[in-house]
Structure 1
Amino acid sequence: MLTTSPALPTAQIDPVVAAALAEDAPWGDLTGQVLLPADATASAQLVAREDGVAAGLAVFAAAFRLTDPATEVTARLADGDSFTAGDVLATVTGPARAVVQAERIALNFSQRMSGIATLTRRFVEAVEGTGAAITDTRKTTPGLRALERHAVRCGGGVNHRFSLSDAVMAKDNHLAVLQQQGLDLTEAIRHARVQLGHTTSLEVEVDRIDQIEPVIAGGVDIIMLDNFSLEDLARGVQLIAGRAIIEASGTVTLGTVGDIARTGVDVISSGALTHSARHLDLGLDMTVTSGA
């Protein structure tokens, strides 16, 4: 099981966090300015209120760093690590005004990302031993895709195509247009194939068994069996017989994902990893000290 994920580059973190900070305090934190002494300092701990999987600790730290470079954040564990209620995930020290101002944005990101990582880990554990990979979809929060997909990796999942520019993926609406135009599916796929470089993959979604052979004849790399019954998934796996990577999608839940994996598919994609993940309960316990 994957327990760590490549670090998110600062170039992907800082613009997102800076926009969130600007939205939350466009002219500064008025409450902190009028109530807290300018020389007051604060120490805080990021504490888990429930069990989970860590994700977004660098994003958490960026909220404080971008608010005031004088703040210091020390992570107590790494993204992808499991924790239990009561564990301290990170500590923060710095000017009290900055710590209080950045608190909500830092928590919003870390709670969101850790929630996604935790849910993903449950899906991954549910298919353990089957060989099936758990992957996300493009059903992400606009502007937060890089962060949310990092969280999926922290939970042990893998990422689907990042954007529409990365790969060819013909879905039901594309096939409906081809049918309306009277175009042959196999020939249309072959035409698409010759326009692609050798490093670009081509995936086609099908929702019926009888679509599989024409799609394979077109030269696809991946076939998505969408909303197939368990019986039809097993039949599809036998029919494809290793000629393409098999992805299952549609109505994938924690209750169904294990049975889906046992049909022999290679990949199971679920938008629920990102669009239905619950924010994890994390808190920032703070102590403020007046300046000398």
Structure 2
Amino acid sequence: MAGLDSDQLRRFVADVLAEDLGRDGDVTSVVTVPADARLTAAITTREAVTLAGVALAEAFFRHLDPQVQIERLEQDGSKLKAGTPILRLKGLGRPMLSAERSALNSLQHLTGIATLTRQYVDAIEGTGCVLLDTRKTIPGLRVLEKYAARTGGAHNHRMRLDDGILIKDNHIAICGGITEAVRSASTAKTGLQIQVEVDRTDQIEPALDAGAERLLCDNMSPTLLRKAVQLVAGRVPIEASGGVRLDTIRAIAETGVNFVSVGRITQSAPAADIGLDYS
């Protein structure tokens, strides 16, 4: 569910609710809402979105009221217009009110990521280029945020540091050069693909000669990216990265690179405007 297995889901929901409820619980609802009061509510998007995290939102309500009735009207990945109902709820008032904020926070955050991601994916449609996410995620939320990025149409890059070898400028400086860094990684025989970050076209041949299996062209202009694509000539995949924005990604994708990675889709996505209304 949202990239979490059942144990991870239980822990996440319990931890988030514990953070919100504190030691004494939702005292406002306890002193204002009768224990047997029942409520009917709807969660609705107030703007156009690409939905992500709906099942996770449900889990918060079920955790506090296992008997709550939930009608799921839309699925993750759906592109919704403003005013579209997502969930309908019927159940005890106190637990529903207590779970509301945690459910909405999660749904708004993940949907915000999926919505922004979809905008980037749509911007490069037809180029053959693939959008990648990055490790620029909120600590503790990476699995969820990368799930939302996938839901929006991106492909996941490394989930963790043990997922692949990415030799960057600091590694190169410590090793004494690209050739030394790549050869050191090759000698280790990890079985992982060796990707090398370059920020100048004159670094490409040394990286390939040393055994690089993929290149990350960092902060290169479209002009330099086209030159890089010509120099590589299909020998390895090329990823463009660094400062990519929604208004620049199309020009970058059209240079012929295979991938474009964008940290903004997880790092800077605004929360979606989704609300819960009682009837």
Q: Same fold (TM over 0.5)?
A: yes
Task: Give the Cα separation in 1 of the matches to 2:2 and 2:109.
Answer: 18
Match of 2:249 in 1: 257
Task: Give the Cα separation in 2 of the matches to 1:147 and 1:7.
Answer: 6
Q: Could you tell me which of 102, 105, 110 is aligned with 1:105? A: 102
Deviation at 1:14, TM superposition (A): 2.7
Amino acid across the alignment from 1:230: P
2:2 and 2:56 in contact (8 A); partners too: no
1:1-292 map, 5 Å: 8-27=4-23, 28-179=25-176, 184-198=177-191, 200-287=192-279
TM-score in terms of structure 2 length: 0.95
Cα 1:41–1:6 shift into 2, 3 Å: closer
Task: Give the Cα separation in 2 of the matches to 1:84 and 1:220.
Answer: 45
Amino acid across the alignment from 1:132: C
Deviation at 1:249, TM superposition (A): 0.3
Task: Give the Cα separation in 1 of the matches to 2:235 and 2:270.
Answer: 38
Name whichever of 236-245 and 63-72 sits farther off.
Answer: 63-72
Task: Give the Cα separation in 2 of the matches to 1:249 and 1:67.
Answer: 43
Cα 1:220–1:106 shift into 2, 3 Å: same
Amino acid across the alignment from 1:18: A
Task: Give the Cα separation in 1 of the matches to 2:219 and 2:114.
Answer: 25
Task: Give the Cα separation in 1 of the matches to 2:38 and 2:206.
Answer: 67
1:206-243 superposed Cα distances (whole Å, 9 cap, x missing partner): 11111111111121221100000111000001111111
Task: Give the Cα separation in 1 of the matches to 2:189 and 2:105.
Answer: 40
Task: Give the Cα separation in 2 of the matches to 1:204 and 1:136.
Answer: 17
Name whichever of 62-71 and 124-133 sits farther off.
Answer: 62-71
Task: Give the Cα separation in 2 of the matches to 1:166 and 1:120.
Answer: 22
Amino acid across the alignment from 1:192: A
Deviation at 1:185, TM superposition (A): 2.5
The two structures, once aligned, show a CA RMSD in angstroms of 1.5
1:40-95 superposed Cα distances (whole Å, 9 cap, x missing partner): 11111110100010000111011112222122322211110100011001112211
Name whichever of 57-66 and 123-132 sits farther off.
Answer: 57-66
Q: Percent identity?
A: 45
TM-score in terms of structure 1 length: 0.91
Q: Any gaps of 5 or more consecutive residues in structure 2?
A: none
Q: Any gaps of 5 or more consecutive residues in structure 1?
A: 288-292
Name whichever of 12-21 and 245-254 sits farther off.
Answer: 12-21
Aligned length: 278
Task: Give the Cα separation in 1 of the matches to 2:278 and 2:86.
Answer: 14
